[in-house]
Amino acid sequence: MAQPQQKKLFEPLIIRKKVLKNRIFSTGHMAVMLNDGCPTDSMVAYHEAKAKGGAALTIIEAARVHPSGDSGRPAIRAYDPSCIAGYKKLTTACHGYDCLVFGQLTHPGREMADLEDGTSPVAYAPSAIPNERFHVMPRELSEPIIHEIVMGFRVSAQNLKAAKLDGIEIVASHGYLLGQFLNKNVNKRKDKYGGNFENRYRILDEIIDAVKLGSSSDMLIGVRLSGDEKEFRGIELQETIKIVEKLNKNEKIDYINITAGTSAGLTGSTHIVPSMRFEPGYTLPLAKAIKGATNKPIFVAGRINTPHIAEEALISEAADMCGMTRAIISDPQMPQKAESGRLDEITACVGCNQACIGHMLNGQPISCIQSPETGRELTFSKLKLATKKRKILIIGGGPAGMKAATVAASRGHRVKLIEASSMLGGQINLAERLPGRSEFGGITTNLANKLQRQNVEITLNTEVSADFVMQEAPEVVILATGGKSFEPLIDGRENAHVVTAWQILEGKANVGSRVAIADWRCDWVGLGLAELLARQGCHVRLACNGMVPGQTVNQYVRDNWLGKLHKLNVQTFTHLRLHGIDSEDAYFQHTLSGEPVILNDVDTLVTAFGAGSVNTLEKELKNNFNSNLHVIGDALSPRTVEEAILDGLKASTLI
């Protein structure tokens, strides 16, 4: 039974004749699991895991309704009947767990990426107004093509009807084509589709009619809107309320789904998948304001990452359904665990955006750094118990070692984990100390809870030698000894004040008032250090080795951070290679021109060069254990938490 504090979350919601068994749904999002514009078995398994875990509804990603909306970014072509079989297979799988399935229909308009052959497409929009994010100059849509697109929505709805989906969501959010028509700053047309509000709204009205005609009478129809696009010349809340008031009068619409942001600019796009730098549930005030303008059910999404926040949203009457997409990606069983009161068993999303939207932006299937099984269901969702229970020694209590221990123990092995320091977590314990990164520490908490439930034997404050290992006499050894701060050779170091990023985060270094950060990694460490030191009152110059600070971090995390640094007056430099240092100045070389760049008046140089492997035991143990010795995480090769946890999963499935 659900705990009292989660009671509202598990009340059914009835919309016409459709019953949503609880108030948790997965919003439409691109999973990059397609073959020639059609859902694959991987996508079926991905959504089936959500259904099996207890979600009431999963909305399948934005599908294209017309060839003019196709781009190089993989998307379902809903206008092509070849998509029906994949949709139907997915729907059948989810229906087996009493989970409804809706499909999203959209056209990106001017928000177009390159085509598969690398060329730029002809991007269509209401008017020839360029966007700021992709620097696309669109072609104004003619009325005949507008009519084709409207018909494309109808044809696509017919295909979704044939696939037995339960509903259709029309995407008018995030600055895509319908949002462009609704935006007076983007729609400058002089015909019946532009000018006053009624004309700008006209295409949405026509599309609602088309979708209704193409769908079956029992299919639900919803519209997704950005409550506030939060972008220069974007749609603001009061304008959205006006749209909602219009939708409220349309009996063909069954619900309205509220989010935030737009694809049109770098600021607005960070709200499409808001990172941990945004407050949990920060979109709820938008939803509540909009709910006051309609009697239709309101769905909402945006950093609703725990059952507690979702429950608050429902009790406060901000919404009727809560989109918890990344929370379900992080733990597909989250709804079931919450309903049965097993809240401490939930692998809570930390909003890092690394393997979900980060993968998608790179054109790769999405996953989760904490739960690499997500997106790899066909490989890892049904791990079998070990045929032979073995004694396993895991050396290192960072994310790689912790993941390996939890999975190995779950398969029935006897697992002992030894950590040299006084606490588990490894480098996560440093990462969480940076501004806006405290939530990252939840990874350690989540893994530690699993270790406890699996009764893994844990020993802290213990250095492990080869002799120690031989005395333990394990059958399998997993080396997860991690890394240590990499310190480059720097000319003049002996005459200057040089500290590492790790020393600052460990509280082992003082810095002067004028700081230069040599950021070779171009990741969140350099960004975070710059913010940390600037907030402490230092004059900060961030010199990165790449094209932009945070180059290796996905744009939804990086761009928000760069905005913060600009407000803090942090000076940023790109394409710089650290060359040397003296008592007053730091010397760099421009990586493209080869010319020297000197940063004057530097009190402290901070190096952010990542980690080097700690793996001396590998050579000492290799002859004794051969194939029963596994090296994972940074001990194998310094990378990120994502690869460390994936290494731990893979190693523990081989035993």
Determine how β-strand 24-26 pairs with β-strand 57-64: parallel
Angle at 543 between CA 501 and CA 507, to 5 degrees: 15
Dihedral Cα 19, 20, 21, 26, nearest 10 deg: 160
> Residue 117 has what pLDDT?
87
User: Phi and psi of 224, rounded to 5°?
Assistant: -100, 130
- In whole angstroms, give the CA distance from residue 214 to residue 365: 31
What is the distance of C-alpha 577 from the center of its chain?
31
Note whether 427 and 398 are within 8 A (CB): yes
Candidates 651, 625, 53; CA nearest to 405 is 651
The whole-angstrom distance between residue 239's C-alpha and the CA centroid of its chain comes to 28
Beta bridge partners of residue 479, listed in sequence order: 395, 631
User: In terms of DSSP bridges, do strands 391-395 and 414-418 run parallel, antiparallel, or are they unpaired?
Assistant: parallel
- When pLDDT is cut at 50, 70 and 90, the band that residue 114 belongs to is confident
* Mean pLDDT (the chain, rounded): 97
* End-to-end CA, the chain: 37
CB 598 within 8 A of CB 588: yes
Q: Is the pLDDT of residue 4 over 50?
A: no
Nearest to 302 by CA among 368, 265, 258, 240: 258
Residues 6+ away with beta carbon under 8 Å from 118: 72
How do residues 116-157 score in pLDDT, each as one tens digit?
A: 888 999 999 999 999 999 999 999 999 999 999 999 999 999
> What letter would DSSP give residue 9?
G
Q: Say if CB 69 and CB 108 are below 8 A apart.
A: yes
Judged against a pLDDT cut of 90, whether residue 6 lies above it is answered with: no
φ/ψ of 169, rounded to 5, equals -110, 125
Report DSSP state, residue 39: E
The pLDDT score that the predictor gives to residue 1 is 47
Q: Looking at the predicted structure, is the pLDDT value of residue 5 above 90?
A: no
Burial of 180 (0-12, 13-18, 19+ CB in 10 A): buried
Closest CA to 350 of 458, 447, 454: 447
**Model confidence at 357: pLDDT above 50:** yes
452 Rama class: left (phi>0) / alpha (psi -120 to 50) / beta: alpha
Write the DSSP string, 333-364. THHHHHHTT-GGG--------TTTHHHHHTTS
Mean pLDDT (whole number) for 63-83: 95
Residue given tokens 């402290």 in the structure block: 604
Using CA atoms, how far apart are residues 564 and 576, in angstroms rounded to an integer?
Answer: 22
Q: Is 398 helix (H, G, I), strand (E, B) or coil?
A: coil
Q: Which two three-digit tokens encode residue 333?
A: 């069983």
580 pLDDT above the threshold of 90 = yes
pLDDT, tens digit, 9 for 90 and up, residues 322-339: 999 999 999 999 999 999
Q: Tokens 């005609």 appear where? A: 213
- Contact call for residues 532 and 524 (beta carbons, < 8 A): no
Catalytic (active site) residue 176: yes
Q: Cα-flanking dihedrals φ and ψ of residue 162, to 5°?
A: -65, -30
Helix, strand, or coil (residue 256): strand
Give the residue among 455, 275, 457 at the shortest CA–CA distance from 361. 275
- Helices 284-291 and 237-248 pack at an angle, to 10 degrees, of 40
What's the pLDDT score for residue 118?
87
Handedness of CA 53, 59, 63, 65 (dihedral sign): positive
Is the model's pLDDT at 234 over the cut of 70? yes
Calpha distance 379→381 (Å, rounded): 6
Written as one string, the DSSP assignment of 434-478 is STT-GGGGHHHHHHHHHHHHTT-EEE-S----HHHHHHH--SEEE
Point out the catalytic residue in the list 124, 176, 201, 556. 176
Residues with Cβ within 8 Å of residue 438, at least 6 apart in sequence: 432
For the chain, domains (ranges, CATH) are 4-379 (3.20.20.70), 383-485+614-653 (3.40.50.720), 493-609 (3.50.50.60)
